[in-house]
Structure formats: structure tokens, C-alpha cells
Amino acid sequence: MSLAYPLQRFQDWFTQQWVILWGRKIDPKKVPWLAGPFGDLDGIGDRFINQLAEKENLVIERNSRLNGLLPSIKLLELSDIELTTLSKEVIKFYETTANYKLDFTVKWNPFFKVFGVLVNILFSNRINQLYIPTKSIKEAESLKSEIITLYDPNTNEVKYTIWYRMFKSTGKVIYSGVYSTCKLPSGETCVKAVFPLPKGSATVIMQPSVQENGTLTLNSAGKKFGDAGFYFVLKDSKGNCWSQFVRSFRDKLTIGLENDSLSAQQTLTLWKQRVLKMNYKIKEKE
């Protein structure tokens, strides 16, 4: 039986062993749509960014307002009708994300709040990643939202685009994710967000669609391995890679104009029950 990397915190080892037992062994070369960087044992946050740049001989660029999650919305390969319908403000946000500021509120389903408390105690507070407050936030909280790019100094090619979001008041990191697009085995083009974890990652693949009012919807509601959805990916003690598709956990994001202002709503569900809802007010920086 394959074993998770032994020299780490028990809770990290235990969750990785669960992935090995119930997931599948993968060859990264055969599943490029699932590929992404892994975190190390000593936390994520800024430490991960610096380690990744050093490991791959990349240069870090921060605080540039020219950077977006996508260099072009055309990378989503939307249909001509969808591209014409999609709000120009949404396109502008995705192509120049660094030029926007975010305010954030969160509302929990009381029945799932205990899971949030456990995740924060066992993982998030320690690794500085995926920290979501377990108290509902009714008054908007300001976030520090930064696009960080890592590029090859020889070719000037951007290798990684990281969306780094943290609370201004506490410095807690909500999300530090590597964003890109990927093409699934079905041929569908999706948005991929890789959130590094110790010796692995939590990867969310979301299928885009455009509504009649110009709103963009990203949905991870796949049914099987190879679909859009939530995946754990890790490397075991012998360097083999494993993945577990978590069908019961889904993430849906909608972003569009509301009363002439850009806003987004993110809903996380487990076993088709709403776990929490996060709302973002998005404004251009002055």
C-alpha cells in the first residue's frame, strides 16, 4: 500500500492518506488539465511564492495594475454569442484584475459552521491558506487583492498567475491560488484554480457560461473524474501522484453588474446543501 509523506503533521498525513486510499494514481503527463504546483510543509502564503520562484528560476512581479487573471477573455473559448453577450465590465475585470479592490461578506449555514471551525484550527491558521471566517460577516470587510505573476526572465513568458487575497484587518489569507485555463478530456475549456497545500493541492476546475444579462457563471458541478469539479492532488512518500475527485463538494461563482456596480457571489455546497455564501463588491482603484 502506498503511504503519504511521513515527516509532517498528522492531520496533513491523514488527509493525504485518505486521498491515496479512495482516490486514483495518476500520471501527470496524461492529465495536464490537473497539473499545478504543490506546496511545501512549512506553510503557504508569501513563503510558497518565493519558494516556487526560486525552485523554477522565475522572477516575481507584484503590484502591477496591468495584470489580470486572464491575459485575454478569449482564452475561455466562449461562443461568439456568449462573447458578445458577456458584460464588458466583467471582461475588463478579468483582464485587469489587479486594478480592482474587493469588499467581502460571508454567510454560513449554521449546520456546517463546525466544519469551518475544524478546518481553520487544523489547517488554515497554520498553513496560511484557505482561511474563511466562521462568523457571518454582515458589514463588508475590505480585502487586499493582488495579482502576482512569476515569469521566465529569459523569455518573459508568464509561467504562473497567482491571485492573492487576504483580510486587511488581520492579514489572514483567504485564497492564494494559481489561476489559468485548462482543456478537459471532453474538449471543454475551463478556469482552473490551484490552491497549494502541504505536499499537494486543492484544485477547482470551473466551467464558464454566460447568462442573457451578461453575467459570467463559473461552475464546478461535474459528475465524474475528468469533469469540472473539486480535486485533491498530492505526491506520496515515493514521489507518485494521486488524485481524488470530490463530487459532493461544489463551487459556483457568478459575476456581473448589479445596479451598475460590479459584484460577485460565490456559493459552496456539500451534498447539495449550501455550506456558505460569499459576496464581493468590486470597484476599480482610483
Mean per-residue pLDDT over the chain, rounded: 89
Percent of the chain with pLDDT over 70: 93
The three cell numbers locating residue 192: 482552473
Answer whether residue 263 is part of any domain. Answer: yes
Cα(35)–Cα(15) distance, rounded to whole angstroms?
20
Residue range 112-127: mean pLDDT, rounded: 73
Give me the domain span that covers residue 170.
10-284
Q: Name the more confident of 228 and 110.
A: 228
The dihedral sign for the CA sequence 171, 261, 250, 95? negative
Which pLDDT score, from 0 to 100, does residue 97 have?
95
Which pLDDT score, from 0 to 100, does residue 124 have?
67
Percent of the chain with pLDDT over 90: 62
Residue 191 has pLDDT above 80, yes or no: yes
Of 70, 71, 74, give the one whose Cα is nearest residue 84: 74
Cα(102)–Cα(214) distance, rounded to whole angstroms?
20
The confidence band for 39, taking pLDDT boundaries of 50, 70 and 90, is confident
Answer whether residue 178 is part of any domain. Answer: yes
Cα(267)–Cα(251) distance, rounded to whole angstroms?
6
Which pLDDT score, from 0 to 100, does residue 127 have?
63
Residue 14 has pLDDT above 70, yes or no: yes
Cα(258)–Cα(80) distance, rounded to whole angstroms?
24
Q: Which of 166-175, 208-217, 236-245, 252-261 has the lowest mean pLDDT?
A: 166-175
Q: What is the DSSP letter of 18?
A: H
The confidence band for 62, taking pLDDT boundaries of 50, 70 and 90, is confident
Classify strands 241-245 and 137-151 as parallel, antiparallel or unpaired: unpaired
H or E stretch at 52: helix 45-55
Backbone angles phi, psi at 30, to 5 degrees: -95, -10
Answer whether residue 1 is part of any domain. Answer: no
Q: Over the stretch 81-96, which tens digit does the pLDDT of each residue have?
A: 999 999 999 999 999 9
Which pLDDT score, from 0 to 100, does residue 138 have?
65
The three cell numbers locating residue 147: 495579482
Answer whether residue 160 is part of any domain. Answer: yes
Classify strands 216-219 and 229-235 as parallel, antiparallel or unpaired: unpaired
Say whether 285 sits in a helix, a strand or coil: coil
Q: Over the stretch 235-271, which tens digit does the pLDDT of each residue have?
A: 999 999 999 999 999 999 999 998 889 999 999 999 9
Answer whether residue 4 is part of any domain. Answer: no
Answer whether residue 182 is part of any domain. Answer: yes
Bridge partners for 246 per DSSP: none
- Structurally, the chain folds into a number of domains equal to 1
Residue range 273-279: mean pLDDT, rounded: 93
Which pLDDT score, from 0 to 100, does residue 211 have?
96
The confidence band for 54, taking pLDDT boundaries of 50, 70 and 90, is very high
Answer whether residue 214 is part of any domain. Answer: yes
Those residues with Cβ within 8 angstroms of residue 175's Cβ, 6 or more apart along the chain or in another chain: 129, 130, 163, 164, 165, 193, 195
Which pLDDT score, from 0 to 100, does residue 80 have?
95
Say whether 63 sits in a helix, a strand or coil: coil
Answer whether residue 3 is part of any domain. Answer: no
pTM to 2 decimal places: 0.92
Cα(176)–Cα(178) distance, rounded to whole angstroms?
7
Which pLDDT score, from 0 to 100, does residue 113 have?
83
Which pLDDT score, from 0 to 100, does residue 140 have?
76
Cα(78)–Cα(86) distance, rounded to whole angstroms?
10
Classify strands 200-210 and 216-219 as parallel, antiparallel or unpaired: antiparallel
Per DSSP, the chain holds a count of helices (H) and strands (E) of 6, 14
Output the CA–CA distances (angstroms, integers) from residue 195 to 168, 174, 259, in the order listed. 20, 11, 32
